[in-house]
């Protein structure tokens, strides 16, 4: 499922799908909105639009490479993160979370993103 499809974007953005059919990033964004965190939701929507239109984010702190092909969109000066990966010139959102401090916790989120990436690539190759 696409936020911005390949036909309408410089870089398409979609949701990674787990083997159980869940789209954790989509659920995360919907929950932000439903819980009244509309400013945070709007910030991510703005970042996605910027990426869709130009293929890049003007502030490198708002979209950055972490490791092993995993990136994060972040709400600048805010606690929320959306993890993602690139495949064939497209971005796939894996999941989101409220930032937990500490390198070990960040590594746990990166590992989760890698697992979701693996499941999504298997799902799309069928």
Provide the residue ranges of all domains of the chain, joining segments of one domain with +. 13-125
Residue 126 has pLDDT above 80, yes or no: no
Residue 100 has pLDDT above 80, yes or no: no
CA 43, CA 63: separation in Å to the nearest integer? 12
Structure tokens, 103:
């390198």
The closest of 54, 44, 125 to 84, measured between CA atoms, is 44
Model confidence over 52-71: pLDDT tens digits?
Answer: 999 989 898 999 999 999 99
Model confidence over 1-51: pLDDT tens digits?
Answer: 778 778 878 889 999 999 999 999 999 999 999 999 999 999 999 999 999
The closest of 16, 20, 4 to 95, measured between CA atoms, is 16
The closest of 10, 37, 11 to 96, measured between CA atoms, is 37
Residue 101 has pLDDT above 80, yes or no: no
Tell me, what's the pLDDT at 22?
97
CA 69, CA 58: separation in Å to the nearest integer? 20
**Sign of the four-CA dihedral 83, 48, 55, 14:** positive
Tell me, what's the pLDDT at 47?
95
Q: Does domain 13-125 have CATH number 3.30.2310.20?
A: yes
Residue 105 has pLDDT above 90, yes or no: no
- Residue tagged 């130009």 (tokens): 54
What value does the mean pLDDT take over residues 62-84? 92
The closest of 37, 33, 12, 19 to 93, measured between CA atoms, is 12
């Amino acid at each position: 499922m696409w936020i911005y499809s390949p036909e309408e974007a410089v870089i398409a953005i979609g949701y990674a799908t787990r083997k159980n059919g869940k789209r954790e990033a989509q659920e995360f964004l919907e929950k932000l909105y439903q819980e009244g965190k509309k400013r945070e939701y709007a910030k991510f929507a703005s970042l996605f639009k910027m990426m869709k239109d130009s293929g890049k984010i003007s502030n490198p702190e708002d979209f950055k490479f972490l490791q092993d092909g995993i990136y994060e969109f972040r709400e600048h000066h805010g606690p929320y993160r959306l993890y993602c990966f690139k495949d064939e010139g497209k971005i796939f959102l894996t999941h989101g979370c409220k930032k937990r401090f500490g390198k070990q916790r960040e590594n746990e989120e990166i590992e989760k993103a890698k697992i979701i990436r693996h499941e999504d690539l298997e799902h799309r190759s069928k």
